[in-house]
Amino acid sequence: MTPDRSLAEEAEVMEIIDQHASIVETTAMDHNREDEIRKALDADRDWLVDYVDINELGSVTDNDEAWDEIVAELSQQGEEHLSGRLSSLKERAERPFPSLLKLEFDPEERLEFVPGQYVRISYEDEEPRVYSIASSPNSENIELCIRRVPGGHLTPTLCDETVVGDDLFVRGPFGDEFTLTPPSDRDVIFIATGTGVAPFKSMIDYTFEENIDEFNGAKRDVWLFLGSSWEDHLPYREEFAAYTEKKENFHYVPTCSREEYLSDWDGETAYVQQSFLKYLDEQETATDELSAEIAEWISETPVYDINARIDPSSMEVYVCGIGAMADSVSDVVEQFNLPDNHYKKESYG
């Protein structure tokens, strides 16, 4: 990197390279939870025995008509929570494994990039797709976070067929807007769902490696709000949890909307933008200028015991994820009137 240029300026002049690369790691980041789902369904025996043979639960997850009858009956009986639970478990049971993949490759020549950029990859005869780079520019190899898209052109093949030593064709890097702003005294807030955290993994690693979590001798708080339905669909959860142990100024807030159906999850369960609001500093937030719904979430007690709060007048916010989530977060964040250079959003899907 050139010291007198911002990362955005660096990105603008990065050379786009076409090259081959060799896969050095392909690892599932989620789990096969078939046994857990079976146990969870067995716990609902009193409801299910009227509709199915409890000893053939596997066939139930394949029988849409029978399952729909169960869900409809529960709804009619006012059991909306249980109805939602069964629908969620069926959806999870039908999702192929693996559905979340860490793919690491070694390019023929070093690929220079800045955090937040992405590459386009080709594998065998599948149509090329673009993916954000999840590794730091300081890493030797390039790492991607792949979420299986059922019926998709490339992700099912990557999840099911790639092995170490396979060849990829890589073009990039691309993108010069979704990059870290120059360090300031503002705290850094990352908000993501699912694989939207990939560019943030690159940014967070780089932030700590290059000590840009510090400005004029003072530490800046770095927050990550990461949402998903299931805990094992939170990419890099172990790495982010490790950061919380090593870095006093890093605060990881995972939120899972459905994990409680399968485990004793006691973390945040609200939408990720709602969890974000719970960690704002009430004393520094003019709630009378905000909508009633937002003010209500700010008054909620956070689940995690984090000895820090966010001053909305002194934050820079980065948002990445599916369009609906990113738009919802925008609706929230924009009420704080952040300067344009301290708020960046990237959405997909």
Q: Is residue 76 part of a domain?
A: yes
* End-of-domain residue from the set 117, 146, 174: 174
Which positions ≥6 away from 186 have C-beta within 8 Å? 220, 314, 315, 316, 342
Q: Is residue 181 part of a domain?
A: no
Would the pTM of this model clear 0.85, i.e. be above it? yes
What pLDDT does residue 62 have?
A: 60
Same domain (yes/no): 89, 118: no
Q: Residue 78 carries which side chain, given as an amino acid letter?
A: G
What pLDDT does residue 278 have?
A: 96
Q: Is residue 306 part of a domain?
A: yes
What pLDDT does residue 122 have?
A: 96
Same domain (yes/no): 14, 153: yes
Same domain (yes/no): 69, 141: no
Consecutive 10-residue averages of pLDDT for the chain (349 residues): 79 95 97 88 71 56 67 76 83 91 97 97 93 97 95 92 97 95 95 96 98 96 97 97 96 96 94 94 83 90 96 94 83 84 86
- Between CA 80 and CA 88, with CA 86 as vertex, the angle to 5 degrees is 100
Q: Is residue 180 part of a domain?
A: no
Q: Is residue 182 part of a domain?
A: no
167-174 and 118-122 strand pairing: antiparallel
What pLDDT does residue 317 have?
A: 96
Same domain (yes/no): 121, 199: no
What pLDDT does residue 59 have?
A: 52
Question: Domain tally for the chain?
Answer: 3
Q: Which of 282, 283, 319 is nearest to 298 (CA)?
A: 282
- Integer Cα distance of 49 and 346 in angstroms: 46
Same domain (yes/no): 70, 108: no
CA-to-CA dists, residue 86 to 76, 97, 124, 258, angstroms: 14, 19, 38, 11
- Integer Cα distance of 238 and 27 in angstroms: 14
Same domain (yes/no): 280, 329: yes
* End-of-domain residue from the set 55, 74, 94: 94
Same domain (yes/no): 19, 159: yes
Same domain (yes/no): 264, 247: yes
Q: Any alpha helices (H) in the chain, and if so which ranges?
A: 7-13, 34-42, 45-48, 57-60, 64-76, 80-94, 155-161, 198-209, 237-246, 272-278, 292-298, 323-333
Same domain (yes/no): 158, 259: no
Same domain (yes/no): 344, 201: yes
- Residue 159 belongs to a domain with what CATH number? 2.40.30.10
Q: Is residue 131 part of a domain?
A: yes
Q: What is the DSSP string of 151-180?
A: T-SSHHHHHHH--TT-EEEEEEEE-SSSSP
Q: Is residue 251 part of a domain?
A: yes
- Integer Cα distance of 222 and 207 in angstroms: 9
Q: Is residue 1 part of a domain?
A: no
Domain that holds residue 76: 34-94
Same domain (yes/no): 162, 199: no
